[in-house]
Amino acid sequence: MSLIASALNRISPSPTLAMTSRVLELKQKGIDVIGLSAGEPDFPTPDFVKEAAIEAIRNNQTKYTNVDGTAELKAAIIGKFKRDNSLTYDASQITVNVGGKHTLFNALVATVEAGDEVIIPAPYWVSYPDIVQFAGGTPVFIKAGADKLYKITPDQVEAAITPKTKWLLLNSPSNPSGAAYTADELRAIAEVLRRHPHVWVMADDMYEHIVYDDFKFATIAEVAPDLYDRTLTVNGCSKAYSMTGWRIGFAGGPAPLIKAMAKLQSQSTSNPCSIAQAAAVAALNGPQDHLKERADAFQKRRDLVVSMLNQVNGMVCPRPEGAFYVYPDVSGLIGKSTPAGKKITNDAELIDYFLDDARVAAVHGAAFGLEPAFRVSYATSEAILTEACERIQTACAALR
């Protein structure tokens, strides 16, 4: 009898975290490698948020809380959904979890059964298919490449829906492509869902506040209020407030679903860290102007990276609306050979070449379900990004 449960055979370790470990290993050996693989803002957590956490410790807010979030945090989240998304929830419709990944995990494990299908647009965030598979469900991928600016069409959604479809996952702005759907694009997808009342929608809005050039963020429950009763709107503090380590994710949705997620959480993690919850209250209720300032800084970096990568022969880098990633298509580089004579047959080999020869770490497209491409995280300084893109340019120019 095997010690390890067979459900574990259905998932693999996160490829993005694996690349981050490789970078750390090289750095520890003293090798000058530039890491463009991490999915977190380089800015610190705002000071007023840190102060709120220190205050919470002083006030002995250091004990168990309500399983799926304190009343204060749920109230702050209700306020956030109203302010930013014009969505109205009461406390029975709000769940707080140990990071956005945990929110998605709870929702999928609480609802997906063997045989259920979950539609996932590709390129996708690496954890979606694994969580669906862990839950016993079947991911159904619909692909949108660089030519479609990485956005799926309503027709593709229509074609993918079957009687077994449980969820459609929508992630806008997207990790890994940065692509974001306008309100009209979401309305067109909602039109399809209206014809299929058995399909639920999970909107992963983690990167809501990182959008550029006057792009107006929208979420599906807001633009299609008739879908409100079958939509889970997922968000969190990690990306907007540079709080990746604090582990606070949350969602608003129908009360029976929220209750099921709390039941699962009560037998796994119990409440998210009480101190992190107090910090999240401050983040959501406090001043929000730093969000725009940080988005402006990210926008400059996006422009720099898009422009430098598009100078590479064989690379096509669409200009995304948000998040802090770009996802260049590298079809034009596959089949070429390195100066050492090794043929590049796929994007994983290209990424290995970048790491070995250019000392730049990124993540290959196959990990996100759409190849050949790779993901660059530009959550680092303009000086480092310039150096990294120059290294990539030199490495690509040396391919024959």
Residues binding ligand PLP (CB under 6 A)? 39, 99-101, 125, 171, 175, 204, 206, 236, 238, 244, 249
Q: Which is nearer to ligand PLP, 112 or 203 (CB)?
A: 203
CB of 340 to ligand PLP, least distance (A): 34
CB of 262 to ligand PLP, least distance (A): 18
Q: What is the DSSP string of 251-267?
A: EE--HHHHHHHHHHHHT
Helix axes 274-285, 71-85, angle to 10 degrees: 30
Q: What is the DSSP string of 47-60?
A: HHHHHHHHHHHHTT
Six-digit token pair at 50?
Answer: 């840190």
CB of 399 to ligand PLP, least distance (A): 30
Q: Which is nearer to ligand PLP, 125 or 150 (CB)?
A: 125
Identify whether the C-beta of residue 332 lies closer than 8 Å to the C-beta of residue 316. Answer: yes
Q: What is the DSSP string of 272-339?
A: PPHHHHHHHHHHHHS--HHHHHHHHHHHHHHHHHHHHHHTSTT-B----SBTTEE--B-GGGTT-B-T
CB of 98 to ligand PLP, least distance (A): 8
Q: Which residues pair with 95 in a beta bridge?
A: 251
Query: Rounded to whole angstroms, how far apart are CA atoms 70 and 76?
Result: 10
Residue nearest to ligand PLP (CB): 99
Query: Rounded to whole angstroms, how far apart are CA atoms 303 and 295?
Result: 12
Q: Which is nearer to ligand PLP, 234 or 315 (CB)?
A: 234
Q: Which is nearer to ligand PLP, 238 or 274 (CB)?
A: 238
The one-letter amino acid code at 127 reads: S
Q: Which is nearer to ligand PLP, 204 or 371 (CB)?
A: 204
CB of 59 to ligand PLP, least distance (A): 25
Q: What is the DSSP string of 272-291?
A: PPHHHHHHHHHHHHS--HHH
Q: Which is nearer to ligand PLP, 12 or 307 (CB)?
A: 12
Give SS3 for 28.
Answer: helix
CB of 94 to ligand PLP, least distance (A): 16
Query: Rounded to whole angstroms, how far apart are CA atoms 36 and 380?
Result: 8
Separation in Å, CA 202 to CA 104, 181, 232, 389 = 8, 14, 5, 35
Give SS3 for 201.
Answer: strand
CB of 311 to ligand PLP, least distance (A): 28
CB of 37 to ligand PLP, least distance (A): 12
Q: Which is nearer to ligand PLP, 101 or 359 (CB)?
A: 101
Q: Which is nearer to ligand PLP, 203 or 308 (CB)?
A: 203
CB of 231 to ligand PLP, least distance (A): 16
Q: Which is nearer to ligand PLP, 200 or 353 (CB)?
A: 200
Give SS3 for 101.
Answer: helix
